[in-house]
């Protein structure tokens, strides 16, 4: 199994990961919050460089940064963060908001990355009762929207 080493540098609330800048939150004690799952990371803090190994993905901090609130989940943290980022990117990129477009983008992204049979419901008011695969359920809110992402099993049909 190969591992890759990525560098994270943080100065004034901007994190640079492999030459891609992303805004981040600075904690109360002025330390950057690093939110990426990786084997190794390094942060610039008060003009000194510190190396941190085994940086864990902190879902709660990432949710705070992206301004989302997890309501119910049965999904690994890295997938939750992927859903948060996908939702936030779609929301921020649309000139005129469309819940259908957001649901479509999240569903297609999850189908592409995690395999078929993902479903997504986006809206400000909806009811649902669903059966989902283990580890494939996330219900969260962002702004005044509620987003439900879940996976169902795909069953092969028997041709007669």
The three-point CA angle 73-74-76 to 5° equals 100
Q: Are residues 102 and 76 in the same domain?
A: yes
Residues 48 and 116 in one domain: no
Domain annotation covers residue 19: yes
Q: Inform me whether the pLDDT recorded for 69 exceeds 80.
A: yes
Q: Is the pTM here over 0.75, yes or no?
A: no
Is-contact 52 43, C-beta < 8 A? yes
Tens-place pLDDT, residues 70-118: 999 999 999 999 999 999 999 999 888 899 999 999 999 999 999 999 9
Q: What distance lies between CA 52 and its chain's CA centroid?
A: 22
- Domain tally, the chain: 2
With pLDDT > 90 as the criterion, what percentage of the chain qualifies? 52
Backbone phi, psi, residue 152, to 5° = -115, 160
What are the CA-CA distances from residue 153 to residues 81, 130, 132, 157 (Å)?
A: 22, 12, 8, 12
Q: Which residue has the tokens 């085994």?
A: 54
- Residue 157 within a domain: no
Between 125 and 56, residue with greater pLDDT:
125
Q: Do 73 and 146 fall into the same domain?
A: yes
Lowest mean per-residue pLDDT among 2-16, 88-102, 110-124, 125-139: 2-16
Same domain, residue pair 115 and 138: yes
**Residue 47 and residue 68 share a domain:** no
Domain boundary among 56, 71, 87: 56
Residue that the structure tokens 């690994």 belong to: 76
130 and 85, same domain (yes or no): yes
CATH of the domain at 90: 3.30.740.10
Whether 146 is covered by a domain: the verdict is yes
Domain that holds residue 106: 60-151
- Determine the pLDDT at residue 27: 42
pLDDT confidence of residue 139: 97
> For position 116, what pLDDT does the model report?
93
């Amino acid at each position: 199994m190969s591992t890759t080493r990525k560098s994270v540098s943080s100065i004034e609330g901007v994190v640079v990961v492999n030459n891609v800048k992303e805004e981040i939150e600075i904690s109360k004690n002025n330390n950057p919050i690093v939110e990426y799952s990786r084997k190794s990371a390094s942060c610039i803090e008060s003009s000194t460089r510190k190396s941190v190994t085994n940086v864990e993905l902190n879902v709660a901090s990432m949710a705070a940064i992206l301004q989302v609130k997890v309501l119910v989940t049965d999904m690994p943290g890295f997938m939750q963060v992927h859903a948060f980022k996908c939702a936030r990117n779609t929301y921020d990129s649309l000139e005129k908001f469309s819940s259908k477009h957001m649901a479509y983008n999240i569903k297609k992204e999850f189908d592409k990355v995690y395999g078929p049979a993902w479903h997504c419901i986006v809206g400000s008011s909806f009811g649902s009762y669903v059966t989902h695969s283990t580890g494939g359920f996330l219900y969260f809110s962002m702004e005044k929207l509620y987003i439900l992402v879940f996976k169902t099993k795909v069953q092969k049909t028997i041709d007669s």
